Each structure stands twice: as C-alpha cells, then as structure tokens.
Chains A and B, each alone.
Chain A
Amino acid sequence: MALIDLVVEKIVKIPLESQDKPDTIRELVQILKDAGEIDDFDAVLKAVQDREDKQSTGLEQGIAVPHCKSDAVASLKLAIGIAKQPTNLFFLLVASPELSGPHVEALAEIAKLARSKAFCKALVHAENAKEVVDLLKGK
C-alpha cells in the first residue's frame, strides 16, 4: 500500500484549532475517528502520546510526524492537519504492529516529502482539504 492511497479529503483538516501539542495530537486522532478510520479513540491516543513522551517527532520547517503502532488498527491510518498560526504541518501515522514494513515505508515517504521545502510551503498554504489532496496527488 502506497502512502498516496491513504490520502483522501476526510483525513485532512485545515486549520487545526488546537494551540498546544497535547491538544493537537488529540485533534489529529479525532480526525481519524470522525473519518471512521478508527473505533478505539482512547487506545490510539494513548499509543501516540506514549511515543511523543519519549521524544517529539517535530522536524525542521514546522513539520511533525507523530506516529505509533497500535493493535486498535488493522492497517495503516493517516491523518493530515495544518495549523495556520503558527504554520505547522502534521502527519499522523498509526499502524498495526504486524505491518512494520509498510509502516516504515510510509514514514520514509513522508520524510522524503518533508525534504522539499517548496512543496511543504505549498501544503501549509493550502486553503482546504481538496487542495491538499490535489497537491499530494500531483494534480
């Protein structure tokens, strides 16, 4: 499964409303819940928080990639959130523990994407979810 297959409008939120890290993570997990991608909100939230407690996955240029393994999902789950003030781009990735290979490859795709400053700039300036999906799919 390629990362691009996971990108649909319902897993994208612009703008994020949260002002701090714990609330942002909660809001990202809520995107998955609202999109019908997960059932057990609390289990996924705890798994993401536990990973973030070890060390933040914030990269340079205002990009963060919170991620975790969780038995609460059977496949890869992606949520994308864009905060406007300050501008920040978040990719949340949750994977089944039995899919470590595809999980690693999806994270690697996000890391490659994050290296393109111009593309990330275009993403954070997107006005809505459709624009993000179109940008990611190269339309």
Chain B
Amino acid sequence: MSNPIKKIMVYVDGTEQSITAAQYAICLASFSGAELIAHYVINTRAVEDLLKARIFLKDEQVEYEHDMEADAERYLNYINELAVKKGVSVIKKRSRGSVHREIADSIEAEDVDLLVIGELSRIRSRRDEFFDETERAMRAVSCSVLIVKDEDRVWEMYESLV
C-alpha cells in the first residue's frame, strides 16, 4: 500500500493552538514525505459583517484587513522557518473570504488528504454563534481532519525531529 497521505494542509490563524498544529504537521510531513501546505485565511467576510453591523468603521475595515495581511505574512513566514529548521518545505497559501469556505474550497482544489487544525474550544456550546471558524472548517471539509492537542508533547516531538 502506498502512503495514504500525500498532501497535508495545516490551517494557521496566529493562535498558539494553530502554531502547535503546524509543528505537528511538520513532523507528520517529515515522517510521511507528504507535501505540506500552510494556509492562512484573511477573514474579509467577518470584516464586512462587522461593517454592516456598525461595529467597524470604514477606516477600521481597511485597517484590520491590512493588519490581517501583515499577520498572514508574519505567521506563514514563521511556519516556514519552523519547517526549514527540520528540512521540510512548506507551500505558503494565503486567501481572502469566509474562513471555513476558503479552507474547504482549497482542500478540494489542492486535492488535500489531511487537514491539520489546532485544538478546538474545550467548552461545548449548543449555540451556533459559538462554533468558531476552525470548528466550521472541520465540519465543512471533505477530507479527514486531525485535531492537534497537548502543546508540550508536540513541542517535544518537534524538537526531537532531526
């Protein structure tokens, strides 16, 4: 049987959980030889909603989109540095729109076998308002999903990778 995981995508949003997920994905890519894509989505959909809801001013819409572009650059570069240290190459992917939709579409377009995401909220809520974008992505994608937990253990695994 050939390697069932040829392409891995890790979703990065700047949270500690997503950085831990990226470390795990780097280890997986190294062990399996799979191609690794790090994806950051600039959530322009949410910014537009906030403008409509009058929580954001027009100036803020522009400012926050600019900030998120800069965050995307910074975090994707950081993931790339983490990967390069371990001899793994990463394809940096940045898109704009609704986070869960962009991830699901990219999974299809890139024919990804496995989505790696950070730990979800530990609190269960029955309210739809509190399904965050990572959770929505997990539900929306067509491929298998790996949820990374235990930051300390993942760090040790990443550090021990030669």
Interface residues of A, Cβ cutoff 8 Å to B? 1-5, 54-55, 57, 59, 65, 67, 69, 97-105, 107-114, 116, 119, 136-138
Contact = CB atoms under 8 A, between A and B. Distances in A.
A109 B43 contact: no
B82 interface: no
A59 B57 CA distance: 13
A138 B125 contact: yes
A65 B130 contact: no
Contact of A114 (B15, B46, B53): B53
Interface of B: 13-15, 17, 40, 42-43, 46-47, 49-50, 53-57, 59, 64, 67-68, 70-71, 74, 99, 120-130, 132-133, 135
Contacts of A97: 67
Contact of B55 (A3, A65, A98, A116): A65
A4 B133 contact: no
A100 B67 CA distance: 6
Interface of A is mostly: helix
Given A2-B121, A99-B14, A138-B126, A109 B132 contact: yes
Given A55-B57, A136-B125, A137-B123, 6 more contacts: A1-B132, A100-B71, A104-B64, A113-B127, A113-B129, A119-B127
A15 B91 CA distance: 51
A59 B51 CA distance: 12
Nearest to B55: A65
Given A2-B120, A5-B121, A111-B55, A104 B50 contact: yes
7 tightest A-B CB contacts, nearest first? A138-B126, A100-B67, A108-B46, A2-B121, A2-B132, A4-B130, A111-B53
A104 B43 contact: yes
A55 B61 CA distance: 14
5 contacts: A4-B130, A99-B14, A101-B13, A109-B132, A138-B126
Q: Which of B14, B40, B121, B129 has the most CB of A within 10 A?
A: B129
Contacts of B71: 98-101
Contacts of B56: 107
Q: Which of B14, B42, B70, B124 has the most CB of A within 10 A?
A: B14
